[in-house]
Structure 1
């Protein structure tokens, strides 16, 4: 079952990469400024994030496979159509629906793979996370290849694998219903004001740095390094960063069990700042990809550890609690990216990106506080 969920996560997240890959093209098509582009990023991140606690609670209450399968199908259809939308308001609508669909998969899957039967829940969640990062890495390359070779009209065919796997989820996923969590009480209040709140704050800052990299680096390479909007280096950089993030999740899950969640998270986040900034200092080329690999490994090593620690803090609602850390954290990051996008237009891309990457330092300190007693 873990293999199936990792595969579904890979296919799902390959399509979620559509916005980052097509952002320069959308900018040219609609003559959009940085604030408008930041709004698109925010719409997708909020819709794919803030709904996760509610969808996790729904899954806890009515069964997992219905929510997961329906979400994967909705994401597959909506996101595959983004590149063909003739109006920007349709892009916004498709991103919103696609985000909601994608949101359904994550809390459901993490509550299964990281559940009480897992011998090493951090590593298990890391494996699931790695599947998503592999898909997110392959997505830009595939999407940009299709656009360059066949045009945006070929992108809707990308919905087919998602629809097939949605059916597989509905048929094969156990209709496990271990909790009777109601939507109004899907997590203990103490979790919202204690450990989970601190974990969510750390996840927000980490997600903001991640979103900034995947959204602003392609724009920076086009505007500051003079690359074409469909240049292969754009896809390669995003792919390298995302694939390395998946590896980082695996390594972080393993390291957390050995060295402690707090130490692993703190060291990896602080170390990530230098390679994130290094991308801005290097000329466009192989060095960009190499530094992106290091940045991806370090910035995402903490992801499975934050999720498992949150589920341990509220064991009666694991899917909903995972949805809070992943979902609310990403949603807040998406909202914060709106002023970041505005700052990019005023201060310039590189200074704004550097300031955002620097937020990994307070993220490390906050996570250390939340994870201080976790092994």
Structure 2
């Protein structure tokens, strides 16, 4: 695949493209595919929790701790890496970060004890910490001003990978055991090759990142109070979204096996269906936000899913499947809109904002997994789902987002 040589000018953080810049779709396609590979690898970890639970005699609290280690490693490093690369772009950092993921996978495939599992999770988390802020910056740089579309294309790759991970784990790892995790190292090696090519394209753009910014016509500025208020609200919406998603991504298989008595493989197929719906929903939020405004997309996505989450704990197996599809479609449309909204609030700090929001999302997912795991040990997994059903009500806070946001 050839990469176009168009140079897209912007501010130091690459957050504001020139007026007439064209969208570099080959770059976005490669980024999306690498995001698919990255998140496919990441999703293998929660998908094999039933295997690890049996192999190492883990309780729900220890499973939550594995997720917490992975998510916190990623969340703490991402804003720092994003802030660093705002000032000093690192075109080869993506390939180096994927190498950390590769090492983590190989450790995970041979880990003999629970502490070694935590080390493997930390290595995979470190790779994710490097990947997300830098690749999000490159997606914005390649957007040609169509920021929501670019973020959605980038995000959908990750969500497709997250959906494929449990399915591949069900048919590759579960029948063959822990050592077969090493096969997924092939995905990491392919990603390293592609990210090296993207790094070459990115290196050509670096001189232009330091040129004076040319603002897109109609771009709106915000007051300091609006920025602070909006960032706090967006953070709370991320908390709501990713705490709820943690209940499904980490414990949905256990919920289905406990409540409906399905097999491990069947539960992982259901998890795949949910994550596939998340992938489909992701592509909607960005382009729609470009057209009608991101505030409306955020409002509809977070709060709009509430009736379905409230029904989920009371549904039979068929309607559980249907409801999780709807929940995935609606809830997934929020993140691209939230991220681009935040980038527009703080122009020139694309890496820092991307790292902050990806990191916070990962952190909330990790904390959610740990908290909900401990809660499930004490009150049961079904009670956890009844409590989590109310989390989307936090979407009411979208009312306080600035109404003059540019699309």
Show the counterpart of 1:217: 252
Q: Which one of the candidate residues 322, 336, 346 is aligned to 1:290?
A: 322
**Structure 2 unmatched runs, 5+:** 1-26, 212-223
Show the counterpart of 1:5: 31
Point out the more displaced range, 328-337 or 127-136. Answer: 328-337
Q: Distance in 2 between the 1:194 and 1:329 partners? A: 18
Q: Distance in 2 between the 1:267 and 1:292 partners? A: 17
Secondary structure in structure 2 of the residue aligned to 1:316? coil
Q: Distance in 2 between the 1:116 and 1:369 partners? A: 31
- Assess, with a 3 A threshold, how the Cα gap between structure 1 residues 148 and 23 changes in structure 2: closer, same or farther: closer
Query: 1:199 aligned to 2:238?
Result: no
Kindly provide the CA deviation profile for residues 164-215 of structure 1, in whole angstroms up to 9, marking residues without a partner as x.
Answer: 32133123322243269xxxxxxxx989844323322211221111111111
**CA contact 1:122–1:253 (8 Å) conserved in 2:** yes
Shift of 1:120: 2.0
Show the counterpart of 2:400: 369
Question: Any residues of structure 2 matched to 1:348-367 within 5 Å, and which?
Answer: 348-362=380-394, 364-367=395-398
- Assess, with a 3 A threshold, how the Cα gap between structure 1 residues 333 and 164 changes in structure 2: closer, same or farther: closer
Point out the more displaced range, 238-247 or 125-134. Answer: 238-247
Please provide the CA RMSD for this pair: 2.4
Shift of 1:88: 0.8
Q: Distance in 2 between the 1:303 and 1:124 partners? A: 13
Q: Distance in 1 between the 2:335 and 2:397 partners? A: 14
Secondary structure in structure 2 of the residue aligned to 1:224? helix
Query: 1:268 aligned to 2:301?
Result: yes
Secondary structure in structure 1 of the residue aligned to 2:361? helix
Point out the more displaced range, 287-296 or 76-85. Answer: 76-85
Shift of 1:371: 4.9
Query: 1:236 aligned to 2:266?
Result: no
**CA contact 2:227–2:345 (8 Å) conserved in 1:** no
Q: Which one of the candidate residues 146, 149, 155 is aligned to 1:129?
A: 155
Name the TM-score, length of structure 1 as normaliser: 0.89
Show the counterpart of 1:246: 279
Show the counterpart of 1:166: 192
Q: Distance in 2 between the 1:201 and 1:80 partners? A: 36
Show the counterpart of 1:186: none
Q: Which one of the candidate residues 219, 226, 244 is aligned to 2:261?
A: 226
Secondary structure in structure 2 of the residue aligned to 1:315? coil
Show the counterpart of 1:323: 355
Shift of 1:264: 1.7
Show the counterpart of 1:308: 340
Query: 1:343 aligned to 2:396?
Result: no
Q: Distance in 2 between the 1:195 and 1:352 partners? A: 30
Shift of 1:277: 4.4
Shift of 1:76: 2.9
Question: Any residues of structure 2 matched to 1:64-103 within 5 Å, and which?
Answer: 64-79=90-105, 81-103=107-129
Show the counterpart of 1:139: 165
**Structure 1 unmatched runs, 5+:** 181-188
- Assess, with a 3 A threshold, how the Cα gap between structure 1 residues 153 and 336 changes in structure 2: closer, same or farther: closer
Number of residue pairs matched by the alignment = 364
Secondary structure in structure 2 of the residue aligned to 1:373? coil
**CA contact 2:99–2:188 (8 Å) conserved in 1:** yes
Q: Which runs of 4+ in 1 moved over 6 A?
A: 189-192
Q: Distance in 2 between the 1:366 and 1:83 partners? A: 43
- Assess, with a 3 A threshold, how the Cα gap between structure 1 residues 234 and 264 changes in structure 2: closer, same or farther: same
Point out the more displaced range, 137-146 or 69-78. Answer: 69-78
**CA contact 1:18–1:140 (8 Å) conserved in 2:** yes
**CA contact 1:51–1:100 (8 Å) conserved in 2:** yes
Q: Distance in 1 between the 2:386 and 2:182 partners? A: 36
Shift of 1:349: 0.9
Show the counterpart of 1:107: 133
